[in-house]
Amino acid sequence: MEQRYSIDEFINQTKQEDKGQGYFELETPRMLEVNLQGQVWAKAGAMVSYRGQIKFEREGVLEHGIGKLFKKALSGEGTSLMKANGNGKLYLADQGKKISILKLQGESIYVNGNDLLAFDPSLEWDIKMMRKVAGMLSGGLFNVRIEGTGLVAITSHYEPLTLLVNPGQPVYTDPNATVAWSGNLQPEFVTDVSLKTFLGRGSGESVQMKFEGEGFVVVQPFEEVYFSQQS
């Protein structure tokens, strides 16, 4: 009997395999396996499946102090995180977006709040709001600064592209297509009336992020539209 397209063949091709990569493991390009022995922070709602003894809890209101709570309230759609505790295998995904794992070694990185999937609890993090651009883009934008030593999983629609920023050679990006950038860069927002006219789209598309200095910025071939979420 021909095995092509059989259930057995499907199971064999798609079954979970231990790749021995450690704490974070890319089970597929769009599915993150966390080999949990303790705790991990993850985007709320990103859990697809788990096995073992794992408990989930939403980010505590005062867990990170009044400062972060205040910023979260101001942002209107703060970073909704959940904490997973226990021992087992946890599978995370976000709308089929491609996942990239980054190992920070005393470095820092900014990640668009919508593109942060999971990170090691040993890392320091803080919510940063883009106040200047909040009224220009649908839903506004916020990002998370992560610093220290540990693993971070970020997501992007399709394959990400990393652009190097060099002194005297600024890089401009569409905020809705910007995923992450190096922690030493402080983007400024600029408007381009001629671009707005040329594109013939809403006012938001004329806003650009300008990166100057030395570092990198990660973009995706997709413009994400952000909606306000009540956390």
Which homologous superfamily does the CATH classification assign to the domain defined by 21-219?
Answer: Mitochondrial biogenesis AIM24 (3.60.160.10)
Asked whether the predicted pLDDT for residue 205 surpasses 70, the reply is no
Between 189 and 87, whose confidence is greater? 87
Q: What pLDDT, in 10s, does the model give residues 14-52?
A: 888 887 778 999 999 999 999 999 999 999 999 999 999
* pLDDT tens per residue across span 71-115: 554 444 455 789 999 999 999 999 999 999 999 999 999 999 889
The alpha-carbon radius of gyration of the chain (Å, integer) is 19
- Closest Cα to residue 146, out of 124, 127, 129, 128? 124
Whether 153 and 115 have beta carbons less than 8 Å apart is answered as no
Which residues fall within 8 angstroms of residue 96, CB to CB, at 6 or more apart?
30
Ranking 65-74, 115-124, 130-139, 150-159 by mean pLDDT, the lowest is 65-74
pTM: 0.83
Predicted pLDDT of residue 215:
95
d(CA 111, CA 128): 10
Share of the chain above pLDDT 90, in %: 55
Q: Work out the mean pLDDT of the chain and round it to a whole number.
A: 83
